[in-house]
Amino acid sequence: MCPGPMLGSCAVPLVQLKKHNRYDYLPLPERPDFSWPDGKRLAVCINNNIEVFSFLSGLGSDSASLTAPQTTRNYAWRDYGNRVGQWYVFDLLEEHGLPASHNINSMLITECPQIVARMKQRGDEFIGHGRTNAERQDVLGEDEERQLIGETTEALKRYTGHQPAGWLGPYLAQSPVTLDLLKEAGYKYVLDWPADDQPFWMRTRSGPLLSVPYAVELNDSPTIVFRQEAVANFEKMIVDQFDEMLLQSRKWPLVYSLVIHPFIIGQPFRLRALRRALAHIMKARDQIWITTPGSIAAYFEKVVPAPK
């Protein structure tokens, strides 16, 4: 028997980490340097999630309890976002002349047609976000997941007239083959891998696919609903994240991503906090590139082409 720490023939085998092989470790200082359009160093995008849910069934968050069953109350709370909150958000964006991207469930097209019409009129970006947030894709088999992606994509193509470039899975959930299926379905980038403040290339069985930064920390759902933070704290997070990233962007080209949901941030007292935070960001408007994930992906592909 080998006592204590093992050496030589008694060495304890090293722990074997399971690998995904989707991207390599490349620390920030070792990457190519570049600037965003017009020499800007910080790209800023607002990611808005517009979702539909199943009544008294399926998945869906609750305003008061993480483990609450599906009820009329929490269904109605979420429905507030599409009936009221989203219209407040649209108006606030337009007050500042801000573009936005919207991660939309494809069923929104038939369930809330006025919302997608306003998005189209504004020229905002449509990003695939599954059929409904009453389900997630990581529990499906490959054929079922391919069908979910295909149905979502086809609905968005019919409505907008073109292939959506980006995808965010409901609940940011991916199966081991999601990236492969998205690449095969014609997607250019994903938002599901919050591993960086810059875009980075990922591997799929059909070639490279880009990951674009998407904030899970600067996100009203995990902050306000799941961690039960006050909106004043979220407002401070928005401002502090922006100020620090603007400072860091002197050294590195970065992406500032703010994530919102109209049934959360669209509540008037929270909208007031978002209004103040956006006013702070707009003071630095001349220093930043205000854009969308799709534009970030397209520009990054030009300055840091996909690996062969």
Q: Helix, strand, or coil here: 107?
A: coil
Q: Is the distance from CB of 52 to CB of 111 less than 8 angstroms?
A: yes
* pLDDT at residue 308, as a whole number: 85
Provide the whole-model pTM: 0.94
Q: Tokens 């630095």 label which residue?
A: 284
Q: Tokens 């880009």 label which residue?
A: 210
Q: Is the distance from CB of 223 to CB of 234 less than 8 angstroms?
A: yes
Q: Domain extents for the chain? A: 30-303
CATH class of 30-303: alpha beta
What residues pair up with 209 in beta bridges, in sequence order?
A: 202
Mean per-residue pLDDT of the chain: 96
* pLDDT at residue 6, as a whole number: 47
Rounded to an integer, the average pLDDT of 195-217 is: 98
- Is 50 exceeded by the pLDDT of residue 141? yes
pLDDT, one tens digit per residue, over 6-41 is 445 566 678 999 999 999 999 999 999 999 999 999
pLDDT above 70: percentage of residues in the chain: 96
